[in-house]
A and B are shown apart, each in its own frame.
Chain A
Amino acid sequence: MKEGWEAVIGLEVHAQLSTESKIFCACSTQVGEEPNSNTCPVCLGLPGALPVLNRQALECAGKAALAIGLRINTESIFARKNYFYPDLPKGYQISQYDKPFSEHGTVEILSAERDEGGRPIEWKLKRFGITRAHIEEDAGKSVHDIGDPGKSHVNLNRAGTPLLEIVSEPDFRTSWEAYDYVAYLRRTLQDIGACDGNMEEGNLRCDANVSVRRPGEPFGTRTETKNINSLRFIQKAIDYEIARQIHVLESGGKIEQETRLWNEKENRTYTMRSKEDAHDYRYFPEPDLPPLEVSAAWIEGLQNSLPELPETRRQRFVKEYELSPEDALTLTASRAIADFYETVIETSGNHKAAANWMLSEVLRELKNADDDINASKLAAENLGAMIRLIDNNTISGKIAKDVFAEMWANGGDPDTIINEKGWVQITDLAAIEKIVDEVIANNPKQVESYKAGRVQLMGFFVGQTLKASGGKANPQAVNDIVKTKLG
């Protein structure tokens, strides 16, 4: 941020809820199918059709709201948001306005500024407010210029997909805070199965409200940037917008309240519509749906059904497994990773080694393979068993790397692998002594030099012994024996 300026950022995140059927009808939420095949009179907005709230969508929204710390209102009101667009079949979106489904949330999450290379500088716990999260329906999709040039097509398969719109307080001051917050939301919603969280596919979308001011001054005029479809683009779009606004103001200009679009190819934002063209949504209570009433018992039931949430788990990992906050964040990136890690701990009884293997080998391989941990051949129990074999000196750390590579590539358990490959570490001192004797006998010249005072040759004898053992000799034992033999 340029010296002497402060940015104020608020975010609106639209999360598609992972339900089988649409929010107000029984149609499937699958989008990849034949255009307009997953439709019915209700989601087509045919005259006379009426919405009926889907219970599954309501539960999903409830879990999501609770998971990000919001309070669910026992009564909320659906409202119509009126505007014309070809992929909005009723000419209004059923949303919520005055009395939203949930309100008053605060999240406490890790956030860090990043250096030029994108590396975190210092992780800090920060608090951000969430104003509200309300339930609404998604619109369809307009597709332009396919087949017939100059024509547009409307696909309503997505119309009526349930959304939770999560509106933050204007609490973010940097683009990385915004980045970390959306990453937190995505991680949490994915974790409880409320949202697939795939930003490229649009099932998590983000609009950023940005303004700048001199510290201590009231809020400046804000712009809203829409259409940001990755975490990285959120950060970039906000930084672009901050720099643009500071430039405009420093050049004596004025910020116009407007809606802008992020263009990922050009790394910049553009004006989409000015304040004059802003929609007047003419919100009013949706007369086709009675007020949404939920009981305290229903809310409590949902609360109890929630699993341990990623941020809670991260904090527990820090305490229980002595991880750095950052490592704990990495190991709670997904429920699958965190579960895997804890299974490794359980089977190995060594949380430090488990963390080391996870943070180095496992995550590196996953990144290379661009795969989900559940899809890999490596079983957490087997990694745990392998760590136990290291700890009880059955195999060396070096052999372990080979065992790991084998388990990663082909699966299998470490006992079978080391037996089949003959990789069991030699801890039998007599056997090691025998190899050392051979190495000494075969290298008389080096023995002479050593005895003449070249003690650094110690490493040579140890290395030769390990090599002769095929890497299986216990290195500490080799060290001790070589030292004794050479006197």
Chain B
Amino acid sequence: MNLTIDELHKLYASGDAKPSEITQAVLDRIEQTNDRLNTFLTINKEAALHRAAEADADIKDAVQTKPLAGIPVAVKDNMCTTGIRTTCGSRILGNYIPPYTATAVAKLEAAGAILVGKTNLDEFAMGSSNENSAFGPVRNPVNEGYVPGGSSGGSAVAVAADLSSVSLGSDTGGSIRQPASFCGVVGMKPTYGRVSRYGLVAFASSLDQIGPFGKNVKDVARTLGVIAGRDRYDSTSSNEVVPDYVNALTGDVKGLRIGVPPECFGEGLDAEVKTSVEAAIKKLEERGAEVVEITLPHSKYVVAVYYLIATAEASSNLARFDGVRYGFRAEEARTLSEMYKQSRDQGFGAEVKRRIMLGTFALSSGYYDAYYEKAQRVRQMLCNDFAEAFQKCDLIATPTAPTPAFKLGEKVNDPLAMYLDDIFTVTINLVGVPAISVPCGVSSNGLPIGLQLIGNHFDEARILNAAYAHEN
């Protein structure tokens, strides 16, 4: 089944298929696979079929006017959806039904998309393998013994396994790009402020960004165009004009300066990943791009800086899950303090609790300067590294992840090894620039490998075009 937007719109325009038929087929496929892959936490069956039936009537016209008319989409279950359970992969929000819809999701729907379900994720988007979900891990459709990556594992798999055309994930330290790389799809983290965060349940507010997954670059470009833009409900969203990302896909990369930082090709990088990424860069060079060596001197600090800032913000963002209002409350508690402690102890999983403790410590009186404050200073130095690099080049190319997908259970008991998996992606969130992961090869055991292309602030169009050139 080819679910790319162009393909579906061709079928809709010719009358060879209707949204209700496609939606039904997609829902059937979700039902057939979900026991195994565990992609969806909530299947939005009735509402999706109802919406698809409504779309049938004027779909031939709608494909001209609405960029996602009749397109089945999946959304990571940390984006609020009115009337549809939003769990964040956590027991603490297990039965939470929000009274409002996230701006990005509302924009998808306004563009004609049909929401087929909410996808599985690492609890509160904290994880790199999707094994931290309270609802069980997602499996990689390429090889079900392997993880799909995380935290947006469900959204990556939804696209990879043809359970939706495109999907939305959120990326705080690589949570879109790494699963895209592991599952062999395209995934983009836009510039911080490019897409409204309103309705995205916050993990680390200064790093979180919603972005699209797609089978190809064009679908990602089109979906980004739909969800991008200023939102008056998000003070950190940007006024920067949203260009036509699809029109920008010329495939012409002549003269494009691609920076390659040696720091990202050294020790710890899987040999097959290295070979594939270098070959992809070479391919772009053959098409007229110019490769320049750049340096990102503070790269060695990124994981430490990231895990201080992200956990500090998370410790505050997750304070609201205290058993008082929505969600889970430990019933056996007798005092307020017991209610807090027991609700949070029972409601959160181990990784979330670990990060809350790390973040609480980093912000504590007497430690703030040594940890959080210092991390912010290094973050500024990283921003300076990138500003300097972008004097010399237009895009930066790195591997998305140091290895292809690993086996389920392989790193579960070694959080530090898991954290190191984010080494090439977290920097991008700290600096706030956009980046994409596009498939660039397959390992000897058949697992996908991703190329990461990084651009300057609001330079998504240039990234997408280079990725498009690579793809074709």
User: Taking beta carbons and an 8 Å cutoff, which residues of A are in contact with B?
Assistant: 41, 44-53, 80, 82, 84, 86, 89-92, 154, 280, 282-284, 287-290
Any chain A CB within 8 A of the CB of B202?
Answer: yes
Contact (Cβ within 8 A) A46 B363: no
Give min CB distance, A418 to chain B, whole Å.
63
Any chain A CB within 8 A of the CB of B265?
Answer: no
20 CB contacts below 8 A, A to B, read A41-B98, A41-B99, A45-B320, A45-B325, A46-B80, A47-B98, A47-B326, A52-B232, A53-B235, A84-B322, A84-B340, A89-B320, A90-B319, A282-B363, A282-B368, A283-B363, A284-B313, A284-B316, A287-B204, A289-B236
Given contacts A52-B232, A53-B235, A89-B325, contact A47 B316 (CB under 8 A): no
Contact (Cβ within 8 A) A46 B99: yes
Give min CB distance, B466 to chain A, whole Å.
30
Smallest Cβ-Cβ distance to B340: which chain A residue: A84
Stretch in contact with the other chain, from B110-118, B192-200, B399-407, B442-450: B192-200
Contact (Cβ within 8 A) B236 A288: yes
Contact (Cβ within 8 A) B322 A48: no
Q: Given the complex, which residues of B lie within 8 Å of A46, measured CB to CB?
A: 80, 98-100, 326
Any chain A CB within 8 A of the CB of B364?
Answer: yes
Within 8 A of A (CB), among B315-330: 315-316, 318-322, 324-326
Q: Given the complex, which residues of A lie within 8 Å of B96, measured CB to CB?
A: 47
Which residue in B234, B319, B372 is a CB contact (below 8 Å) of A84? B319
Give min CB distance, B2 to chain A, whole Å.
34
Any chain A CB within 8 A of the CB of B158?
Answer: no
Smallest Cβ-Cβ distance to A86: which chain B residue: B324
Smallest Cβ-Cβ distance to A82: which chain B residue: B316
Which residue in A44, A52, A84, A287 is a CB contact (below 8 Å) of B325? A44
Given contacts A284-B363, A288-B236, A289-B235, contact A48 B205 (CB under 8 A): no
Q: Given the complex, which residues of B lie within 8 Å of A86, measured CB to CB?
A: 322, 324, 336
Given contacts A44-B325, A282-B360, A287-B205, contact A49 B198 (CB under 8 A): yes
Smallest Cβ-Cβ distance to B202: which chain A residue: A48
Contact (Cβ within 8 A) B100 A282: no
What sequence of 0s and 1s flags, for each residue 78-109 of chain B, a beta carbon within 8 Å of any chain A beta carbon? 11100000101000010010111010000000
Which residue in B86, B88, B99, B319 is a CB contact (below 8 Å) of A91? B319
Q: Given the complex, which residues of B lie within 8 Å of A287, measured CB to CB?
A: 204-206, 236, 313
Q: Given the complex, which residues of A lie within 8 Å of B99, measured CB to CB?
A: 41, 46
Smallest Cβ-Cβ distance to A92: which chain B residue: B316
User: Taking beta carbons and an 8 Å cutoff, which residues of B are in contact with A?
Assistant: 78-80, 86, 88, 93, 96, 98-100, 102, 197-202, 204-206, 232-236, 312-313, 315-316, 318-322, 324-326, 336, 340, 360, 363-365, 368, 372
Interchain CA distance A82-B321 in the complex, whole Å: 13
Given contacts A284-B316, A284-B368, contact A48 B234 (CB under 8 A): no
Contact (Cβ within 8 A) B233 A50: yes
Q: Given the complex, which residues of B lie within 8 Å of A289, measured CB to CB?
A: 235-236
Q: Given the complex, which residues of A lie within 8 Å of B340, measured CB to CB?
A: 84
Contact (Cβ within 8 A) A91 B102: no
Interchain CA distance A46-B88 in the complex, whole Å: 13
Known: A48-B201, A282-B360. 14 other contacts (CB 8 A): A47-B88, A47-B326, A48-B102, A50-B236, A52-B232, A53-B235, A82-B319, A90-B319, A91-B322, A154-B325, A284-B316, A287-B205, A287-B206, A290-B236
Smallest Cβ-Cβ distance to A80: which chain B residue: B316
Interchain CA distance A288-B317 in the complex, whole Å: 11
Give min CB distance, B133 to chain A, whole Å.
17
Which residue in A154, A280, A284 is a CB contact (below 8 Å) of B324? A154
Given contacts A41-B100, A47-B96, contact A52 B233 (CB under 8 A): yes
Smallest Cβ-Cβ distance to B232: which chain A residue: A52
Interchain CA distance A284-B313 in the complex, whole Å: 9
Interchain CA distance A49-B235 in the complex, whole Å: 11
Interchain CA distance A52-B205 in the complex, whole Å: 14
Which 4 residue pairs of A and B lie closest in terms of their CB atoms, listed nearest first? A91-B319, A287-B205, A287-B206, A282-B363
Q: Given the complex, which residues of B lie within 8 Å of A282, measured CB to CB?
A: 315-316, 360, 363-365, 368
Smallest Cβ-Cβ distance to B102: which chain A residue: A48
Interchain CA distance A289-B325 in the complex, whole Å: 24
Interchain CA distance A51-B237 in the complex, whole Å: 12
Interchain CA distance A50-B79 in the complex, whole Å: 13
Give min CB distance, A155 to chain B, whole Å.
13
Q: Given the complex, which residues of A lie within 8 Å of B318, measured CB to CB?
A: 91
Q: Given the complex, which residues of A lie within 8 Å of B232, measured CB to CB?
A: 52
